[in-house]
């Protein structure tokens, strides 16, 4: 019977229900007395919020991770981060490999949907590569961080901290164990921590499709249009964002001004990289200038790239929209990148994703201004975009959210992780094919 139900479900519904089941399981585990230091377990709503944040690789927390949870609770969170980052269907595929089972075509379609891949061809091989890449990157990052943390911690704690933060940041989750909601601010000028974290976040954010093509480049000598756009836009957003943050925060006595020139550069780059949906920070977010905070909101909304561990509307969506505007201004009929034309369906999908995302963000923000009355609007807007884009940065609002506010942010994180379009497909009826077309009409625009 379970098999029949599974076969009747569309891939978007399977993804939505799958993430829902993982979140509920995580909620129950975090509610256990053994999960928290005080031996009481988290209240249900706080456990639900934390489980959603971990599974949706967001990083927003209502309680400090390092101060509140036992090792068991932290490992529950880390497990949800890993499953949520790579996708539960990727893990289901891994177990099928281990058990020697065949991957059905329906399961391949679901994997394709979860990885946002253009085709089902080679999808199983890609999943194998994903686990290979993940293992190599997380082990390398964890080893480097463990060696650095061992200079100020006992060896066992350093290894645990090193690998926890490597997994968390590669999956763009942003959970940390430093305590007191201070993030990585103590390492703002540390070159090893900064370079390692920036590398982990960037690799997790460009997407496994791009990583796979870069891995195969020595033999293929080709890079797809998708990867070219992802790399180009990611480079512009990171270095452009870092330059603007450097300028805006250079004389801010609460952020960059007290740091050395090297620290200023690291601080600017880190804060430009982390809105790509990572959520960890080396500068205190509430102390940033309002102009910088608004810039970070824009970077968060764009987010990471398709098929990655991050959220947002994605770099390719942003690129297509910019290309469409550019072609309209120039009076060109086609939207082109690197000598290739974009199909109208891609432009329409990009517009749809962006409008749904804006509608969700604006709606949640408006409701939060009512439920969280008395809070600064920029703080509320920042929190909502961070939740939707599964970033995890906060101006300090998360621990102070009302019960309704926690529920709204939980829904926003979930919608951001599964994707606004996937969620829309999951909750609507299966589309019917029309055998007719209406007469064309004209509307004045602009």
User: pLDDT of 206-229, one tens digit each?
Assistant: 888 888 888 888 888 888 888 899
Note the pLDDT of residue 16: 76
CB 134 within 8 A of CB 46: no
Q: Strand pairing partners for 69?
A: 36
Say which DSSP state 329 is in: H
Find, among 267, 360, 281, 271, the residue nearest to 313 by Cα: 360
Give the DSSP H/E element, type plus range, for residue 341.
strand 340-341
**Do residues 337 and 323 touch, judged by C-beta distance below 8 A?**
yes
d(CA 368, CA 397): 11
The whole-number pLDDT of residue 89 equals 57
Lowest-confidence pick of 100-109, 133-142, 432-441: 100-109
d(CA 126, CA 146): 29
**Model-wide pTM > 0.85:** yes
d(CA 437, CA 119): 29
How far is the C-alpha of 9 from the C-alpha of 89, rounded, in Å?
14
Dihedral of the alpha carbons of 189, 192, 193, 197, in degrees to the nearest 10: 120
- How many Cβ atoms from other residues are within 10 Å of residue 31's Cβ? 19
- Confirm if 166 and 145 have CB atoms less than 8 A apart: yes
The count of other CB atoms within 10 Å of the CB of residue 298 is 13
Phi, psi of 340 (to 5 degrees): -120, 140
The encoded tokens of residue 244 equal: 């603007």
What is the rounded distance in angstroms from the CA atom of residue 60 to the CA atom of residue 54?
8
Average pLDDT, the chain: 84
Residue 116 CB partners (closer than 8 Å, separation 6+): 306, 307, 419
Q: Note the pLDDT of residue 122.
A: 63
Contact 146, 159 (CB under 8 A): yes
Phi first, then psi, for residue 401 (nearest 5°) are: -65, 145
Tell me the average pLDDT across 248-273: 92
Provide the pLDDT for residue 109. 64
d(CA 383, CA 177) in angstroms, rounded, equals 21
The residues with which 336 forms a beta bridge, in sequence order, are 341
In the chain, the N- to C-terminal Cα span, in Å, equals 54
Is residue 111 pLDDT above 80, yes or no? Answer: no
Distance between CA 307 and CA 286 in Å, rounded?
31
Three-state secondary structure of 399-438: HHCCHHHHHHHHHHHHHHHHCHHHHHHHHCCCCCCCCCCC
Q: What pLDDT shows up at residue 418?
A: 77
Residues in the chain: 446
Calpha distance 294→285 (Å, rounded): 12
The predicted structure's pLDDT at residue 58? 86
* Pairwise CA distance, residues 27 & 42, whole Å: 9
What are the distances in angstroms from CA 336 to CA 207, 209, 232, 326?
A: 22, 21, 14, 10
**pLDDT value at residue 279:** 79
What's residue 5's pLDDT? 46
Question: Is pLDDT at 7 greater than 50 in this prediction?
Answer: no
Tell me what percent of the residues of the chain surpass a pLDDT of 90.
41
Numbers of helices and strands, H then E, in the chain: 19, 2
* pLDDT(88) > 60: no
Sign for the CA dihedral angle at 253, 259, 260, 265 comes to negative
Q: Which helix (H) or strand (E) holds 385?
A: helix 377-388
Largest Cα span, the chain: 74
Mean pLDDT of 322-338: 88
Q: How many CB atoms lie within 10 A of CB 164?
A: 22
25-70 pLDDT, tens per residue?
999 999 999 999 999 889 999 999 999 999 888 888 898 888 899 9
């Amino acid at each position: 019977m379970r098999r029949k139900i599974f076969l009747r479900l569309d891939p978007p519904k399977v993804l939505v229900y799958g993430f829902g089941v993982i979140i509920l399981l995580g909620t129950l585990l975090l509610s256990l007395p053994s999960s928290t230091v005080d031996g009481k377990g988290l209240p249900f709503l706080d456990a639900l919020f934390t489980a959603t944040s971990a599974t949706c690789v967001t990083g927003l927390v209502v309680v400090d991770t390092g101060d509140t949870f036992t090792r068991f609770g932290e490992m529950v969170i880390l497990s949800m981060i890993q499953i949520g980052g790579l996708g539960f269907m990727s893990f289901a595929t891994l177990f099928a490999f281990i058990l020697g089972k065949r991957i059905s075509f329906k399961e391949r379609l679901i994997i394709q949907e979860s990885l946002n891949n253009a085709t089902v061809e080679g999808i199983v091989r890609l999943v194998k590569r994903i686990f290979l890449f993940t293992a190599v990157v997380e082990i390398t990052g964890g080893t480097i961080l463990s060696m650095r943390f061992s200079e100020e911690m006992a060896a066992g704690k350093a290894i645990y901290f090193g690998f926890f933060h490597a997994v968390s940041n590669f999956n763009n989750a942003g959970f940390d164990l430093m305590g007191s909601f201070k993030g990585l601010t103590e390492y703002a000028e540390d070159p090893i921590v900064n370079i390692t974290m920036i590398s982990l976040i960037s690799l997790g954010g460009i997407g496994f499709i791009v990583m796979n093509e870069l891995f195969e480049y020595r033999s293929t000598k080709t890079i797809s249009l998708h990867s070219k756009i992802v790399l180009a836009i990611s480079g512009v957003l990171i270095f452009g964002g870092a330059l603007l943050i450097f300028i805006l925060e250079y004389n801010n006595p609460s952020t960059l001004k007290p740091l050395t020139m090297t620290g200023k550069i690291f601080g600017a780059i880190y804060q430009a990289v982390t809105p790509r949906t990572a959520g960890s920070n080396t500068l205190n977010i509430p102390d940033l200038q309002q102009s910088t905070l608004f810039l970070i909101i824009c970077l968060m909304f764009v987010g990471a790239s398709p098929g990655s561990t991050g959220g947002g509307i994605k770099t390719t969506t942003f690129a297509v929209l910019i290309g469409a505007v550019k072609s309209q201004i120039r009076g060109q009929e086609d939207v082109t990148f690197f000598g290739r034309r974009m199909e109208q369906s891609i432009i329409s999908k990009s517009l749809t994703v962006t409008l749904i995302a804006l509608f969700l963000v604006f709606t949640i923000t408006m409701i939060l201004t009512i439920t969280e009355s008395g809070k600064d609007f920029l703080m509320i807007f920042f929190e909502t975009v961070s939740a939707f884009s599964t970033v995890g940065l906060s101006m300090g609002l998360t621990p102070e959210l009302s019960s309704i506010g926690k529920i709204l942010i939980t829904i926003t994180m979930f919608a951001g992780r599964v994707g606004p379009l996937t969620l829309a497909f999951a909750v609507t009826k299966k589309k019917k094919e029309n055998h007719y077309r209406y007469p064309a009409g004209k509307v004045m625009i602009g």
